[in-house]
Every structure is written in C-alpha cells, then in structure tokens.
Structure 1
Amino acid sequence: MPVEIIGYIGNHNASETIPASGPVINLQHIAAAAAIHENGGFDRVLFAFHSTSPESILIAQHVAAITTKLKLMIAHRPGFTAPTLAARQLATLDHLTNGRVSVHIITGGNDQELAQDGDHLTKDERYARTSEYLDVVRSEWTSETPFDYAGRYYTVDRGHSNVRPQGPEGIPIYFGGSSDAAFTVAGKHADIYALWGETHAQVAETIKRVREAAAPHGRSPRFSLSLRPILAETEDAAWAKAAQLLEGAKALRASASGERLVNVNAKVAGHEPPNEGSRRLLAAAAQGARLDKRLWTEMAALTGASGNSTSLVGTPDQVADALLDYYDLGVTTFLIRGFDPLEDAFHYGRDLIPRLRKLVAERDGELSRAEAAE
C-alpha cells in the first residue's frame, strides 16, 4: 500500500545541533516550514506537545490556514481537557480544514513533566485514564443519540455532539507508548501505532505485540516509524555529516546553562530515562553505533534518547532502500525530520520521498504479481 510521509513543524528553528533563538513562536519559521513540507510532497506534519510548549492545536490551526492540502497530526495529551470538548474541538477543526486533521495521543512517561501541568497520577493510572478518554472521544464522534459513560476517571450523562469528523473514516488516532500498559491501550484504540526508530528486530517484536493486543478487539492498526535521516551524495560523506552533527550536539550541550546541563545529562549520572521508549532506544544504542544496514544510534546515546533520535545514514537511494526494509516489516507511515529542520525537510522532499514512493510502488507490484501467480 502507498506509504504516508509525515514531517515536523516546530514553533521555532531549533534542534539538538541548533540553539533556539528568537521568539518562542516564530511565525516566519512556521510559514517557511509549512511551505517546504507542502511543496515537498509530505502528506502530514506533526505538531508536538510538551507541558511547557505552545499549544499544539492552535499552532496546527494556524498552519492549516496558510496551507491548502497539508494534513495535520496534532499531539494531544489526555487528562487536561474534557474528552467531550476535545472531541468537538478536533471535529470542528476537521471541518474547517476540509478533513485534514489527525490526533497523536501521548499519555506521557515522565512524572516530572506531567507534574508541571498538575498531573500526579502514576503511569499505569494515566494509561487507564487515556483508555477511558478515547472511549468518550469516539462516542462523541460517532453516537447518533445521547450516550452515557461511567468510568473511574470520566462520567458522562447524555453526551452528544452536533459536529462530527468530516470524513467517513473519522479522525485518525495515532498512538505512542512502549510499556505494557501502553500496548493494552494501543490494541483497543490506535488506528496507527507510532514507534521510534528501532532495530529491525525491535520493530518486528513491537508490531507483533500490538497486533496481538488489537486482535481481541477485532482491530488491525497500521504502524508508523520515526527517524532522523542523514543524507549526502556519497555514503562516506553521509557518515562524515553524522559525525559532524554529533560533535555539534556535544558542543551545544557543553555550552548549556548549569540547570539544563544537569537535565540533559541525567542518563550519564546513572538515572535511567522514565519512559520505556527511551530505554528501548538506549538498549539498541548499547548494541553499537551502527546497526542493521545503516541505523545510527550515537545521537540517541548522547541525548539519553529523550525523543526521536536515531537516524538512517547514507545517500538518498541507500536511505530509501533502508526504509523499504521497515516497510517489509509492516511499517506504512514514516515520520522523518532532520537536525536542520528547514534544509533537511527540503532535501527529503526533493531527494528521498520520491525514491521511497517509487520503491514501495515497485514492491507492491511485485507482491501483486506473486499473488496473481499463486
């Protein structure tokens, strides 16, 4: 099946190698990123959420207003907005954007960050709340008549909405989380389950677990993989670029303020990251700097794998071929973003995305011919 390509629009220009500067919400950067992604053939873009960041729904609404076809993937954390209201907010935006909305549910694995928004539940309690939240959201989107809901975290009496998602398939729900509790919720609710850039073995294991969790619900989710491709005209030049990026990240971290330096070096101090996804990336990094064909883990090791931080390194043809390996494992969505947010997005659109789409079409043709021959 055709792959979906997702990019990333930050609120300003910054990364592990580029220090943040200027306003927290930089309208010029957002406009440039939106244009590059839309013109570059990306299907959708992610808007991240953090307890201290600008509000993702509002940034996404702005981007929708300055684009015509680029779809939105809005990171959203359950627990701070009533699920009935969140459902109507998303459905309203879906109409205003002519069906371009999706939501990425992030329950949150860091107790300290959650406490910044006044949330003091345990991780398992948060996932249980997320499951109830999505029960209510889907009922608000689909119920023809008023519905009641009685759970531990939410009780709704005669809930109903006059606005529903525009498209017949509704608003796609992406879902992330790698703990046992997360797999349980993903099996029940995820339309697309999102992984960070792990090894082939790790990805195959996770896909198997999510499918097993989804089977009792009669569901068959799709799978998304997040990576930071590093491209150059030759393989040697690409690996040299990766080494240069690593040195830049080290220098930026060394120049950070004392408080920030303590936070970013938590893993070095012997503290394991609080979320399972980061621990899985660090487990991969412990196997080596270069894994499988061209998976690069050193940036994840440096940063404590605090987010999407592993890369595929090589020429555009080589990276497209490496992405195809994940497609063969069952991944049909790729979230790709660079360490230079604007320049890398441009090169992905020009050099990588067309190659990947061509390889996937060829692979689908091979499979169709093989099935027809049986």
Structure 2
Amino acid sequence: MSSTSEFLWYIPNQVKAGHRGEPAAENHNSLATLTGQAKALEEHGWKGALIGTGWGRPDTFTVAAALAAQTTTFEPLIAIRPGYWRPANFASAAATLDHLTGGRVRINIVSGKDNLAAYGDSEGDQAHRYARTREFMRLVRRLWTEENVSFAGEHFVVTESSVVPRLAARPGRRHPRLYFGGASEAAERVAATEADVQLFWGEPLDGVAERIERLKALSRTLDRDLPPLEFGLRITTFVRDTTQEAWADAEAKVAEMARSSGTGWHDHHRANAVGQQRLLDLHARGEVLDDNLYTTPGKFGGGGAGTTWLVGSAADVARSLRKYADLGITHFVLSDTPYLSEIKRQGSQLLPLLRDRLAA
C-alpha cells in the first residue's frame, strides 16, 4: 500500500433510527451519539469519516461543523450538492470551517438525483446536471485560490468575489480535497477534469482497474490542468474474528434483509444511476466475486456502499483491500454496523494490518 493511503469511516446522517443493520436507538442522531463515533474514530486510528447528504436528512455541513468542534484530529468528508449550495456561499462556508479546524475539511461533491423541488432547485437532463457540477467545482477552486474572481458561466455568475478567510497554505494541499463519484460518461468527464479524488463503489477488481485506466486516459485527452487524479474506494467491510464466523454472520444478515425486504437499506437504491446499476447487476455474475466480495446484499435491498461487502477475518479483508491499493486506490472509506462497535473492532483489528502492509 502507498505511504499516502488514508482510511476513513462513515457516520450516518439520518433522521430515522436504524440504518443498514444498525440497531434502532432513540438518540441515534444526537450530538452525543455522533460525537461518540467521531471521538472513537480519533482513538482507533481513523483519519475521519464521510457524512452523507440528501434532502430529508439533517444538514450535512452543520453536522460536520458540530463534530469538528467536539474533536481535535477528526476530518469530516462533507457531502454537498451543487444547487443546494451556490458556489460562493459554499466556498466561504468551507473556507471558514477549514480555518477554524486547522485544515481538517474534505468535500464530497454529489450530483446524483435528489428531491430538488423540495428545496427550490431544478435542473435539466444528465448532461445539464454534470455541466453545472463541473462549473461549480471549477469556480469553487478559483474562489479558494484566487482573489477578486469574476466569472460568468452557463450556470453561475460572480463579480469581484474574494472569499474570506483566505485558505492557509498547508503541506500537500492548496485547498480542501474535492472527492467525486459517478460512473456515467458525463460523470467521468467531470472527474477527469475537476476532481481531486474519484470514489468508486465496491466493484470487483477488474471493474475498478478498467475504470482507473479509462479515467487516466480521459484526463490526458481532456487536458487536465490539475495534479493527477487520485482514487478511492467506498465499501462495506464485514469483519469477524475468523473467516467462518464472518461468513456465517454475513449470510444471517442477508437472510434478515430478505425477510424484511431490505427495510432501512434503500438510501442509494436508484436503478437509474449508472454506478448503482453496475453494483446491482453484479450478483448475476455470482454470489462471491474475487476472493470475498459478497454481492448478494444488493439482491435483497442493499444500496450504495451496502450493495457489496468484503467479508472475512481482518486478515482476509486486509488482503483484499491491498489488491485494490495495488490498482492505485489510496483513499479508503469503510464501514459496517453497528457503527460504534465496528469503528473500534476494525480500528483495532483491520487498520494495524493495513498499516503493516503499508510499511512493508
């Protein structure tokens, strides 16, 4: 694994209790509960956590700011949507939080479909949506790195705009990293030109390898003028003390999903999203792909990062993640439920193995 590899978790940002097998609890999204997860991440070797976005969830930026204020090293990967935010408003908010936290902000730009009308937004077809996203990312980066920015595009306009506070120069980054996802041709063109990190769902190794090579080629074809695109993996890691115990527990959880029709697992279950459909189609290739990529959850309601799981002992899962790292993945966003106990288990069992391999 690369010495620059980073390991993040996932903090659920949900109004309803119970999420991807998480036991329902009355205080599941209280400041105390979420802070407990963020502090556990600090204590067990994680860099930070992705915090998801979507209309009908608590506001992601507010949650991230609250958790950052309660911690010292925790880095929130804040999911945000163009359209929900205007570029200059967002650039200012992110620069402010980055300043207040000493440079701990990361951003995940989300362009998938949402309930746009509910928050007063509208957009056209896929080409329009991703053109707006590309313009948003380019303008935000300019606002972070230039002063007195004037810009008149198809979607956004600013005049003599200087964001304050100005972002401080920090080792290894000019500004908060912009993570991005999406598997359609339109999404990949945005990633190739504007993203700092492309996130993949848990696809088999051959699919990830093919996408990495395509994105690298696109970056050259489209004359990318940024540092080389980096790559990340967002996946469920189902870890137990032994291989046998992991598979028994994973199959039992899927059986419960089948009985409940995937209740609580549908937050990304949109067949019209290209990346999600790729995952949902995997179980047709087999229940287990590569060494231990379990595809059956997607058959019974698993969506997004819950569609496929890497299942096994810590050594099994570390071995699989190493194979993704060998393809060029350097950012890992892992999770399983119950969230708090798995933060501790995987921080204690999985991360040391990954770091030992990194050192080797």
Q: What is the TM-score when the length of structure 1 is the normalising length?
A: 0.88
Match of 1:238 among 215, 228, 246: 246
Does the 8 Å CA contact 1:204/1:329 hold for their aligned counterparts? yes
Match of 2:340 among 336, 339, 342: 342
Task: Find out whether 1:249 has 2:257 as its counterpart.
Answer: yes
1:192-341 alignment runs, 5 A limit: 192-215=197-220, 216-219=223-226, 220-253=228-261, 264=266, 273-303=271-301, 305-341=303-339
1:54-133 alignment runs, 5 A limit: 54-108=58-112, 110=113, 113-121=115-123, 122-133=125-136
Offset, 1:25: 3.1
Does the 8 Å CA contact 2:261/2:300 hold for their aligned counterparts? no
Q: What is aligned with 1:7?
A: 9
Offset, 1:23: 4.9
Aligned AA (2:217) = E
Structure 1: gaps (5+ residues): 363-374
In structure 2, relative to structure 1, the CA distance for the partners of 1:152 and 1:265 (3 Å cut) is closer
Offset, 1:266: 12
CA RMSD of superposed structures (Å): 2.2
Does the 8 Å CA contact 2:237/2:334 hold for their aligned counterparts? yes
Q: What is aligned with 1:368?
A: none
- In the alignment, the residues of structure 1 paired with residue 306 and residue 81 of structure 2 have an alpha-carbon distance, to the nearest angstrom, of 18
Aligned AA (2:130) = Y
* Count, aligned residues: 349
Does the 8 Å CA contact 2:235/2:309 hold for their aligned counterparts? yes
Q: What is the TM-score when the length of structure 2 is the normalising length?
A: 0.91
- In the alignment, the residues of structure 2 paired with residue 211 and residue 237 of structure 1 have an alpha-carbon distance, to the nearest angstrom, of 39
Does the 8 Å CA contact 2:201/2:304 hold for their aligned counterparts? no
Aligned AA (2:167) = P
Does the 8 Å CA contact 1:174/1:190 hold for their aligned counterparts? yes
My pick for the range that moved more, 20-29 or 233-242, is: 20-29
Does the 8 Å CA contact 2:235/2:305 hold for their aligned counterparts? no
Does the 8 Å CA contact 1:273/1:304 hold for their aligned counterparts? no
* Secondary structure in 1 matching 2:7: strand
Does the 8 Å CA contact 2:80/2:107 hold for their aligned counterparts? yes
* Percent identical: 32
- In the alignment, the residues of structure 2 paired with residue 240 and residue 337 of structure 1 have an alpha-carbon distance, to the nearest angstrom, of 19
- In the alignment, the residues of structure 1 paired with residue 119 and residue 258 of structure 2 have an alpha-carbon distance, to the nearest angstrom, of 30
- Normalized per residue, the structure richer in helix is 1
- In the alignment, the residues of structure 1 paired with residue 12 and residue 219 of structure 2 have an alpha-carbon distance, to the nearest angstrom, of 32
- In the alignment, the residues of structure 1 paired with residue 250 and residue 58 of structure 2 have an alpha-carbon distance, to the nearest angstrom, of 30
- In the alignment, the residues of structure 2 paired with residue 224 and residue 300 of structure 1 have an alpha-carbon distance, to the nearest angstrom, of 21
Does the 8 Å CA contact 1:19/1:252 hold for their aligned counterparts? no
Offset, 1:232: 1.6
| 1:76-130 C-alpha deviation (Å, 9 max, x unpaired) | 111122201100100000010010001000011x36x334333332222111101
Structure 2: gaps (5+ residues): none
Offset, 1:24: 6.8
- In the alignment, the residues of structure 2 paired with residue 194 and residue 14 of structure 1 have an alpha-carbon distance, to the nearest angstrom, of 25
* Secondary structure in 1 matching 2:329: coil
